[in-house]
Amino acid sequence: ALASVLFAKLVVDYDVPYFLALVAVLAGAGAVGGLIEVSIIRRLFHAPRIVLVVATIALAQLLYFFSILEAVQPDPTKLVREGFPLAFHTSFEVAGVTLRGAHVAIMVFVPLLAAALTGLLRYTAWGQAIRASAENPDAARLAGISVKRASTIVWIVAGVLAAATALLFAPLRASFLIQTMGPSILVRALGAALVARMASLPIAFGASMVLGIAE
């Protein structure tokens, strides 16, 4: 949510080119994710899981607070007039349904992000380290894997993906009400992940489409 606000402010208020602002915001989101892991989550590495869950909720609320501060909000008049920044400015009909730039961006970028995440986890050394650390941290350590480094990578990737999700979702809203974005996105994501039992990316991808259509 914070990433989408800052992105809109950069493009709408300061006329930063779309893709330059996109790279800056995604990099910043990844950096924030990594910083949170190193400074806070790592200190709770051996704490009960419920403590970690509560800590992440508290962190989410803190970031959410920053997103609603007046100082980071884009010019509301200009935002309403120009709309949330889009990568594609197009419009066409399919079976009587009008698809606009925001829908095209989702159809292009979401499969690419899902494929990139799958490739990272399945076919790279980092991905294998992440999976091993998640399945059995003690065995991973004995195999020479740095579980803490794997955790940092996960948080960086999660920060980037969370920001990308908010940027793709924001233009679909009838009005840019950032105050309602964070919790609603979290519920949708958890729903798809739980259908996949937190284990299968293809099932989560399919479940997310089914849930979106049903909604």
Most confident listed range (97-106, 159-168, 177-186): 159-168
**In the prediction, which pLDDT does 215 show?**
85
Quick one: average pLDDT of 161-182? Answer: 76
Q: How confident is the model at residue 97 (pLDDT cuts 50, 70, 90)?
A: confident
**In the prediction, which pLDDT does 176 show?**
57
Q: Where would I find the beta strands (DSSP E) of 16-137? A: 91-94, 97-100
57-71, 123-137, 193-207: range with lowest mean pLDDT: 57-71
pLDDT cut 90: percent of the chain above it:
47
Q: 178 pairs with which residues across the strands?
A: none
**In the prediction, which pLDDT does 180 show?**
58
3-class SS of residue 4? helix
Q: How far is CA 21 from the centre of its chain?
A: 16
Contact status, residue 203 vs residue 35, Cβ threshold 8 Å: no
Q: Tell me the whole-structure pTM to 2 decimals.
A: 0.88
Question: What is the distance between the alpha carbons of residues 195 and 45, in angstroms, rounded to a whole number?
Answer: 27
Question: What is the distance between the alpha carbons of residues 62 and 103, in angstroms, rounded to a whole number?
Answer: 30
Q: At what angle do helices 181-195 and 201-214 cross, to 10 degrees?
A: 130
Task: Look up residue 12 and give its DSSP letter.
Answer: I
3-class SS of residue 94? strand
Average pLDDT, rounded, for the chain: 89
Quick one: average pLDDT of 110-132? Answer: 92
**In the prediction, which pLDDT does 191 show?**
92
**In the prediction, which pLDDT does 130 show?**
94
Angle at 167 between CA 103 and CA 18, to 5 degrees: 90
Contact status, residue 7 vs residue 165, Cβ threshold 8 Å: no
